[in-house]
Chain A
Amino acid sequence: MIGNLAGVLFDGIAYGSLLFIISIGLSVTMGLMNFVNLAHGAFAMVGGYACVLLMTRAGLPFLATLPVAFLVAAAAGIVLERTLYQRLYKATHLDQVMFSIGLVFMAVAATTFFFGPSQQPVRLPDFLRGQVRVLGLDVGAYRLFLIGTVIVATIALHMMLVRTRFGAQVRASVDNAVASAGLGINVNRVFGVTFALGSGLAGLGGGLGIDVLGLDPTFPLKYMVYFLLVVAIGGAGTIKGGLLAAMILGICDVAGKYYVPQIGSFIIYFLMVVLMIAFPAGLYGRRV
Chain B
Amino acid sequence: MTEPGGASAAMPTRTSIEPQLPTDRWRAIEFAFWLVPVAVFFLFPNHRVLGSQVLITGLFAVTLDLILGYAGIVSLGHAAFFGVGAYAAGLLAVHGWGEPLSGLAVAGAAGALVGFVTSFLVVRGSDLARLMVTMGIGLMLFEAANQVPSITGGADGLSGVTMGKVLGRFAFDLTGTTAYVYSLGVLFVLFVVARRIVSSPFGLSLRGVRENVRRMPAIGAPVTRRLIAIYTVSAAMAGVAGGLLAQTTQFVGLDVFGFPRSADLMIMLVLGGTGRLYGGLVGATVFMVAHHYLSDVNPLYWQFWLGLLLVVVVMFARGGILGALDGFAKRFGRTRP
Residues in A lying within 8 Å of B, measured CB to CB: 30-31, 34, 36, 84, 87-88, 90-95, 97-99, 101-110, 112-113, 225, 228-229, 231-232, 235-237, 262-266, 269-270, 272-273, 276-277, 280-282, 285-286, 288
CA distance A104 to B311 in the complex (A): 10
User: What are 16 A-B interface contacts by the 8 Å CB criterion?
Assistant: A36-B127, A91-B10, A94-B270, A97-B76, A98-B267, A102-B307, A106-B304, A106-B311, A109-B303, A231-B128, A270-B136, A273-B133, A280-B129, A286-B1, A288-B1, A288-B2
Closest residue on chain A to residue B121 by CB atoms: A277
Residue B199 at the chain A interface, CB threshold 8 Å? no
Q: Are B146 and A99 in contact (CB under 8 A)?
A: no
Those 9 A-B pairs whose CB atoms lie nearest each other, nearest first: A102-B310, A105-B307, A109-B304, A106-B307, A280-B125, A93-B127, A273-B136, A102-B311, A99-B314
Q: How many B residues have CB within 8 A of the partner chain?
A: 48
- Which of B303, B308, B310 touches A108 (beta carbons < 8 Å)? B303
Chain B residues closer than 8 Å to A30, beta-carbon distance? 1, 128
Chain A residues closer than 8 Å to B137, beta-carbon distance? 273
Q: Are A269 and B1 in contact (CB under 8 A)?
A: no
Chain B residues closer than 8 Å to A31, beta-carbon distance? 1
Residue B68 at the chain A interface, CB threshold 8 Å? yes
Q: Are B147 and A262 in contact (CB under 8 A)?
A: yes
Closest residue on chain B to residue A95 by CB atoms: B314
**Contact code string B118-147 (vs A, CB < 8 Å = 1, else 0):** 000100111111011101110110011011
Chain B residues closer than 8 Å to A97, beta-carbon distance? 74, 76, 131, 266
Chain B residues closer than 8 Å to A98, beta-carbon distance? 266-267, 270, 310, 313-314
Chain A residues closer than 8 Å to B304, beta-carbon distance? 105-106, 109-110, 113
Chain B residues closer than 8 Å to A264, beta-carbon distance? 143, 146-147
Q: Are B10 and A236 in contact (CB under 8 A)?
A: no
Chain A residues closer than 8 Å to B133, beta-carbon distance? 272-273, 276-277
Q: Are A102 and B147 in contact (CB under 8 A)?
A: no
CA distance A93 to B7 in the complex (A): 8
In the complex with contacts A93-B2, A272-B132, A288-B3, A84-B311 CB distance below 8 A: yes
What would 8 more interface pairs be, CB under 8 Å, given A228-B128, A236-B1, A270-B140? A93-B127, A93-B131, A94-B270, A106-B304, A266-B144, A273-B137, A276-B133, A286-B1
Chain A residues closer than 8 Å to B10, beta-carbon distance? 90-92
Residue B309 at the chain A interface, CB threshold 8 Å? yes
Residues in B lying within 8 Å of A, measured CB to CB: 1-3, 6-7, 10-11, 68, 74, 76, 121, 124-129, 131-133, 135-137, 139-140, 143-144, 146-147, 263, 266-267, 270, 274, 300-301, 303-304, 306-311, 313-315, 318
In the complex with contacts A91-B314, A232-B132, A265-B143 CB distance below 8 A: yes
Q: Are B143 and A266 in contact (CB under 8 A)?
A: yes
Q: Are A105 and B315 in contact (CB under 8 A)?
A: no
- Which of A103, A107, A108, A263 touches B143 (beta carbons < 8 Å)? A263
Closest residue on chain B to residue A281 by CB atoms: B1
CA distance A93 to B270 in the complex (A): 12
Chain A residues closer than 8 Å to B6, beta-carbon distance? 34
- Which of A95, A105, A263 touches B147 (beta carbons < 8 Å)? A263
Q: Are B74 and A269 in contact (CB under 8 A)?
A: no
Closest residue on chain A to residue B76 by CB atoms: A97
CA distance A269 to B129 in the complex (A): 13
Q: Are A225 and B126 in contact (CB under 8 A)?
A: no
Chain A residues closer than 8 Å to B3, beta-carbon distance? 34, 288
CA distance A92 to B2 in the complex (A): 11
Q: Are A101 and B129 in contact (CB under 8 A)?
A: no
Q: How far is the CB of B290 from chain A (nearest CB, A)?
A: 14
CA distance A88 to B318 in the complex (A): 12
Chain B residues closer than 8 Å to A236, beta-carbon distance? 1, 128
